[in-house]
Structure 1
Amino acid sequence: MSYQLMNRMFFEGQIPAMITFFNPNHVAHAGQLEMYRGELVPCFEVPSRADRVLAELEHRQLGSIQPASLIDGSLRSVLEKVHSSRYLQFLERAWGEWIKLAPENSERDALPSVWSVRGMRSDRLPSNFAARMGLFSFDMGTPLTAGTWQAAIGGAGCALSAANRLLAGERGTFALTRPPGHHAGADFFGGYCFINNAAVAAQVLLDGGMARVAILDIDYHHGNGTQAIFYRRSDVMFASIHGDPSSEYPFFLGYADETGEGDGVGYNHNLPLPKGSDFDVWGQALTEGLDSIFGFKPDGLVVSLGVDTFIDDPISGFRFLEEDYLAVGRQIANIGLPTVFVMEGGYALEAIGRNVANVLQGFDTGKSTV
């Protein structure tokens, strides 16, 4: 089936509503403490984030909810196109190594304490566990727990399944998982992220026959990992609307002058906005981002869906209201592309389910207005 025919069938109502792929293993990752603004505090990224979204989707009956299909060979193959082999091996074995250092470590999470910075080597893999933690991380806010690998690999399975169903003819799918992924690079974790699920979804779409894929990141925080993975590639365009990195995490990437390198020149579009921006300001940036995506002429779209743009989010700074997320979904639908949504941030627990569901409901409503 051609993508043109698939789009026409969708808008004529012949293709069913969005399918959500849920990662039940997300609960295995439940960090205790993170370093935030100079002190250890309880983690903001908690299991109830995904559970509240799931409950709201079930309440509204927004399409079917299915488990991810974990195809080990396929999943490992795409993971190694997105992340380095030594990084994946580290994540897979890290908890076991942490426990071997001291039995009492089973009662506390692992956090990095040293880093390889400018002027230091990163090509040599240290034998010391703390050194490897630092080599493969960029902050102290992302605890590695007993179930981190299990949860992260389950999330990658959700992204794989969501992308595969898009290739099979669905118009919209949603990978509902945590921990999030867009801060994870080819060989580093941070920002609560370990495996880059948006990058996995994009790579699956490319491997499945799409010539070009766009990624739209609407999380409050810049998707530095996603940008880094695709920065020198011309088959993936990355567009991100986020808080100005001069004052907002992750600070060291996300400026407007970062437009790509080598084959990727012109395929990276950052739209940083001042802290305190409301939906009217943000909506103008979304129009600009979608215009650039439309000009790229992709076959499919991956959306890094963060709802930490909400006015009451405890660690962010935009001023969205709940109803604004309906408009976000409609605008994304109006670009007319097969779309995978991948869950990212959002830490206002009381509203997270409604905000995510509003985006997806807006997308389903918007499909009929094109």
Structure 2
Amino acid sequence: MKNPVYTEYKRARIIGIILIIALSIFGAFAHYLRAVDDSVLQTKLRLNSASSQIDTKFSALLAYATALQKTAQLKLLLPVPPAEISLPLLSFTDAETVNVALTDIEHPLSAELNMLQQLQPYFDLVTEVQPFISNIYYISEQGYAYNGLVRWPDYIAEQILSWQSGIDQGTTYNRETTFHAQFMQDQSVLQVPLYEDDKKLGRFLFALDLKQLLKPVYALYANTDLMLLDQAGNLIPHSTSRNLPQIDQHLIHVQRLANTPWSLAVLEPKTSLFTSGLNMFVWHLVSYLVLLSILFFLMHYRFKRRVVSPVNRLFIHIERLGKSDVQGVRHIPLGWNDIFDKVYRLTQQDKN
């Protein structure tokens, strides 16, 4: 006699194995997604923390620039001192350095020169107050520039002339402070306009050494590829924490800075992100397979021993009784005595 319980038992075993594999893959995949999400979240937290520190530095820079701007407007009102003082100016017209005396009241820059002489402490102390500011320059609308030094180094004069000729002149009339990603070699610049009422007098240029500005922040994230992007999303080359790898093999996370039009970006290797998640996937897959398999085979073994085997012996018992075997099976499974006795009595009643 064919045992339908045993047939269903074998079918359930196959279904159970399939379910174990499916549940293990599902659970491991859920952990994989969680691992990738955690990795991305950690990157964003690092990015937010770094951007907050950079914003703090730019806030100090803007505060210093605003203080200089307001002080300059006040200094314009002061009378010209009688002392014989001259300032070296770079002329954009003939690309030469000229010395102009403050007492030359006929010169169109007379008021501005007096202001610059009064602001000399700002030029002298700027690198001590803000180490990432390489220098301050003043560019007058009259076509002259002042660098706060007793002379103009040739290489600086050449670079500022080149930058001035290449800048969009429309941006020079902006009444707000503006950032330019490219200035001199490996420098960016903060441009602060100077107005007297509605008349544009000139603008202060703060030459920024971004590597110096970002150095303390990048030191906290030594194993992270950080960089600054300009308002167009282009990389500012002299803002990278180290030599960049192949960008197309990385994921990029971007955080907009609060006090500048720039953004802070971090590169994360695709292989690093997905490999760590893949390792987690394999680990949890094996763990789930082992644990669920042990549980399944223990329950499988118990079901076979306590249900399938007794039912099989019951079928044998019925077959023997049907063949006039008075006793049937000799060893009755534990807990099945009542069923075997009832089958025996029913068989005897049928014979009588």
Which has a greater percent of helix? 2
TM-score, normalized by the shorter chain, greater than 0.5:
no
- Bigger radius of gyration among the two: 2
Higher strand fraction: Structure 1 or Structure 2?
2
Under TM normalisation by the shorter chain, which class is it? Answer: under 0.3
TM-score, with structure 2 as normaliser:
0.22
